Copies of this chain bind each other. A is one copy, B any other.
Amino acid sequence: MKRVYNFNPGPATLPLEVLQEVQAEFLDFDNSGMSIIEISHRSKNYEKVHNQAKADILELMGLGDEYEVLFIQGGASLQFAMIPMNFATKENPGSYALSGIFSTNAYKEAEILGVGQIAASTKAENFRRVPRQDEIKIAPNSAYFHVCYNNTIYGTEYHYIPETNGVPLFADMSSDMLSRPLNFKKFSLIYAGVQKNLGPAGVVVVVVKKSLVEKSLETLPTMLRYDTFYKKNSLFNTPPEFSIYFVGKVAAWIKNCGGLAEMAKRNSRKAEVLYAAIDESNNFYRGHAEKDSRSFMNVTFRLPNEELEKKFVAEALENNLIGVKGHRLVGGLRASIYNSMTLEGVEALADFMKKFRQSNG
């Protein structure tokens, strides 16, 4: 069987052990005589999977009974709209820190509804860093303060939890969900499209304080109300079973590996290897992100010119290193090294970077 090192930003590489387990039981799930994709979402077999996935996510995050896990379709992009629809008004707008494309897109949806405010932005610096605490101006009447905690395209992340002075903190963690321990209790709502760190595209994991979602506006369409998902255990209509089932297996895999502390250890080591390859290259490789905002999930860098960048992508491909082309807005290269990327894969890329520099530097 052919396997490559897949550095794509999402959909992204997933744990081989989990893929193999899913493959093995694909025709007969839990001795039911049915595939997981054929089984009723009202069955006990499925319900067990659904509830275990929820419980494991909360356990990994160190969150208790005051939080709920919701499974919602539509991607983080639909959350960008649901959040202001459910929580913001003209009197109590949503406040946003703009630190990249996705945080800007989140703000735009609030803007369409006329309920968005900008609390900070690093756009003028081409999003090379996230805003510092002293730059963040959250209006006290804000319904929430929204951040994108890790910026996939620019390769930056927050290395501190913003202080909001009592305004509920909301975070898009699509690209760093379950990648390291954090005081998650400081957040009121965390969401993540699963296709980067957790599983197959098709579901968003929303971790939210129950008190926020017990009752939603009755003027909203049913499927855009958080309480529809909360009251029905995310089973109001047929959920994306396969994605949830897979996410559950990945959560269990993380627990078996040693939880978020172990993930953080592995992810830090991987990031160190790549940032060292950049920093020790005598400026042949130049990181896009400022050092104190560097992401340990997405490593972005440029080469001396675009021709070399193209050559790098092509030769990397020949070496089974896939998906290292950067986003067109940043240019250059990007290596996404989520939980499931192995140190072996990262070392293969670092070796390649060294050789490429020696041949082309």
Q: Which residue of B lies closest to A218 (CB)?
A: B112
Interface residues of A in 212-257 (CB under 8 A from B): 218-224, 236-243, 246
The stretch of A2-10, A140-148, A278-286 that contacts the partner chain: A2-10
Q: A33-B2, A219-B112, A238-B10 are in contact. Are A202 and B243 (CB under 8 A)?
A: yes
- Give Cα A336–Cα B77 distance, bound, in whole angstroms: 35
- In the assembled complex, A60 has its CB within 8 A of some CB on chain B: no
Q: Is the CB of B26 within 8 A of A22?
A: yes
Interface residues of A in 126-173 (CB under 8 A from B): none
Q: Is the CB of B27 within 8 A of A202?
A: no
A229 to chain B, nearest CB (A): 11
Contact among B3, B28, B201 with A242 in the assembled complex (CB-CB below 8 Å)? B201
- Give Cα A297–Cα B1 distance, bound, in whole angstroms: 40
A226 to chain B, nearest CB (A): 14
Q: Is the CB of B201 within 8 A of A37?
A: yes
- In the assembled complex, A300 has its CB within 8 A of some CB on chain B: no
Q: A202 contacts which chain B residues (CB < 8 A)?
A: 73, 202-203, 240-243
Interface residues of A in 277-320 (CB under 8 A from B): 320
- In the assembled complex, A176 has its CB within 8 A of some CB on chain B: no
- In the assembled complex, A13 has its CB within 8 A of some CB on chain B: yes
- Give Cα A201–Cα B34 distance, bound, in whole angstroms: 15
Interface centre among A220, A222, A241 (most CB of B within 10 A): A222
Q: A19 contacts which chain B residues (CB < 8 A)?
A: 26-27, 35
- In the assembled complex, A14 has its CB within 8 A of some CB on chain B: yes
A19 to chain B, nearest CB (A): 6
Say whether chain A's binding surface is mostly helix, strand, loop, or mixed.
Answer: loop
The stretch of A90-98, A180-188, A192-200, A348-356 that contacts the partner chain: A192-200
Contact with B along A27-68 (1 / 0, CB 8 A): 110011111011111000000000000000000000000000
Q: Is the CB of B201 within 8 A of A241?
A: yes
Measured CB to CB, the residues of A under 8 A from B are 1-4, 6, 8, 10-14, 16, 19-20, 22-23, 26-28, 31-35, 37-41, 73-78, 80-81, 85, 105, 108-109, 112-113, 193, 195, 199-203, 218-224, 236-243, 246, 320, 322-323
- Give Cα A31–Cα B12 distance, bound, in whole angstroms: 17
* Number of copies of chain A assembled together: 2
- Give Cα A28–Cα B3 distance, bound, in whole angstroms: 7
A85 to chain B, nearest CB (A): 7
Q: Which residue of B lies closest to A9 (CB)?
A: B40
Q: Is the CB of A33 within 8 A of B113?
A: no
- Give Cα A31–Cα B85 distance, bound, in whole angstroms: 43
A87 to chain B, nearest CB (A): 14
Q: Is the CB of B201 within 8 A of A240?
A: yes
Q: Is the CB of A2 within 8 A of B20?
A: no
Q: Is the CB of A34 within 8 A of B73?
A: no
Q: A1-B27, A12-B38, A201-B242 are in contact. Are A77 and B33 (CB under 8 A)?
A: no
Q: A10-B238, A75-B223 are in contact. Are A27 and B23 (CB under 8 A)?
A: yes
- A sample of 26 cross-chain residue pairs with beta-carbon separation below 8 angstroms, ordered by A number, consists of A2-B33, A6-B38, A8-B38, A8-B39, A8-B40, A14-B37, A14-B38, A19-B35, A26-B26, A33-B322, A37-B246, A40-B323, A41-B201, A75-B237, A76-B237, A78-B223, A80-B223, A112-B219, A200-B240, A200-B242, A201-B240, A201-B241, A201-B242, A202-B240, A202-B242, A240-B243
